[in-house]
Structure 1
Amino acid sequence: MANEYVTLEELKSQLKIEPSDDTRDADLNRARASASRSIDKTTGRRFWLDPEPVTWTFNPRGRICREDDGDLFLVDDIGSEEGLVVEVGSGANWSAVTDYETSPDNALAKGQPITGLLRVLGTWGIATARLRVTAQFGWPTVPDDIQQAALIQATRLFKRKDSPEGIIGSAEWGVRNLSRRDPDVWALIEPYIIPGF
């Protein structure tokens, strides 16, 4: 799969493997993919952006928050307003919605995704309908923290073949078990975990 958060070249550099050495590329690419998808699963989101707008349909149940200034419909991360279309309805009957604001304010300008659609001083009023959103889902750009976490995790996964029983050794500190979770990776991705995920 594409959309890994660390390149093959970055991983080779981290592991001190010559760029021209392609004998381990298959293993390195598996480590890159596994690290990236693991971050997606742990955070409950993905940090790559759809190349073109796609259409997703949302059930409103549990996704509407009553705010002081209107109803906020929580959507999966949207990384671009280009091609953004919002519709309410079901089946073959859909109506365009244009009187909404994206939330949080200035998200895309800050390199963050849009996570909600706010009906200012209004309601979505869709008890039985659905919300259909056409957008480029994901993040505008991969955050540096996520790229670094993927690099650390991919390096760890690649080296894991040398510790099949989960035990590593060193002349300096002897033999010890690998921890289940890398504390540096966790510290980098924890702020990106969707609350309640």
Structure 2
Amino acid sequence: MALGDPYGTLQDLKDRLSIVDTDDDAELTSALAAASRGVNRFCNRQFNKTTTATGRQFDATTATLLLVDDFHTTTDLVVDGTAYDSSVHVLEPLNGMVDGEPGWPYWRIRNAGGDYTTSATVTVTAQWGWAEVPASVTEAALITAMEITKLSDAPFGVQGNAEMGLIRIRENHRISSMLAPYRRRAVAVA
């Protein structure tokens, strides 16, 4: 999947909603795209990938630390005009693992052999994104797309009447907990 693609397929969403015709394909495609962008905003990252390296500019966090967008491979990696060299650039998270889970992209570059302060900004050329979209991300996007689709049945957030009164739709905490490990927090620099 390329950067910007939805995290699930139209057919996956239709299967979950037991839809066999094509009458609602445009609405479902839109819901899936909106859900995927919502996942990106919640997590502050993009989970698909590019297969062609492109350059982006970043401000150095410290003299030896550069926080960058996620990238999934060292192929074609160039940092500040220098091809990736493992004796100079230490990529983190180490071994692509977070909390014992493999498959994470790199998003921190430590410069063991130089000083990032020599540049106003540092250009990094990489293949951006994740090698594979995590299953929890795909699941969260599909569940959210289902909820978006069903919102037309719940005007003003009211799903229906129950014996005890109106039933209101609330934020889905299950989705939040599924995505919490993938949430990238903003870094405050003093």
Which residue in the other structure is 2:5 paired with? 3
Bigger proportion of residues as helix:
2
Provide the C-alpha distance between the structure 2 equivalents of 1:12 and 1:173, rounded to a whole number of angstroms.
33
What whole-Å deviation, never above 9, does each CA across 1:138-195 have from its counterpart, x for those lacking one? Answer: 111100110110011000001111112110026687631111x211111111111112
Which residue in the other structure is 1:100 paired with? 89
Shift of 1:134: 0.8
Letter of the aligned partner of 1:27 in structure 2? Answer: E
Bigger proportion of residues as strand:
1
Provide the C-alpha distance between the structure 2 equivalents of 1:128 and 1:161, rounded to a whole number of angstroms.
52
Which residue in the other structure is 2:176 paired with? 186
Provide the C-alpha distance between the structure 2 equivalents of 1:187 and 1:173, rounded to a whole number of angstroms.
29
Shift of 1:137: 1.0
SS across alignment from 2:11: helix
Which residue in the other structure is 1:47 paired with? 47
Shift of 1:106: 0.9
What whole-Å deviation, never above 9, does each CA across 1:93-142 have from its counterpart, x for those lacking one? Answer: xx42642121111117921010111223x442425432111111111110
Which residue in the other structure is 1:90 paired with? none
Residue number among 76, 89, 102 corresponding to 2:69 in the alignment? 76
Provide the C-alpha distance between the structure 2 equivalents of 1:173 and 1:10, rounded to a whole number of angstroms.
35
Identical positions, percent: 31
* Number of residue-to-residue matches in the alignment: 179
TM-score for the superposition, normalised by structure 2: 0.85
Shift of 1:58: 1.1
Letter of the aligned partner of 2:12 in structure 1? Answer: E
* Residue segments in structure 1 that go unaligned for 5+ positions in a row: 88-94
Letter of the aligned partner of 1:190 in structure 2? Answer: A
Map 1:66-145 → 2, pairs under 5 A: 71-87=64-80, 95-96=81-82, 98=85, 99-107=88-96, 110-120=102-112, 122-145=113-136
SS across alignment from 1:83: coil
SS across alignment from 1:31: helix
- Say if 1:170 and 1:51 are closer, same or farther in 2 by CA, change over 3 A: farther
- Say if 1:30 and 1:172 are closer, same or farther in 2 by CA, change over 3 A: farther
Provide the C-alpha distance between the structure 1 equivalents of 2:17 and 2:122, rounded to a whole number of angstroms.
46
Provide the C-alpha distance between the structure 2 equivalents of 1:183 and 1:27, rounded to a whole number of angstroms.
24
Q: RMSD over aligned Cα, in angstroms?
A: 2.2
* Residue segments in structure 2 that go unaligned for 5+ positions in a row: none
Please identify, of 145-154 and 96-105, the stretch whose mean Cα deviation from structure 2 is larger: 96-105
Map 1:16-55 → 2, pairs under 5 A: 16-18=18-20, 21-55=21-55
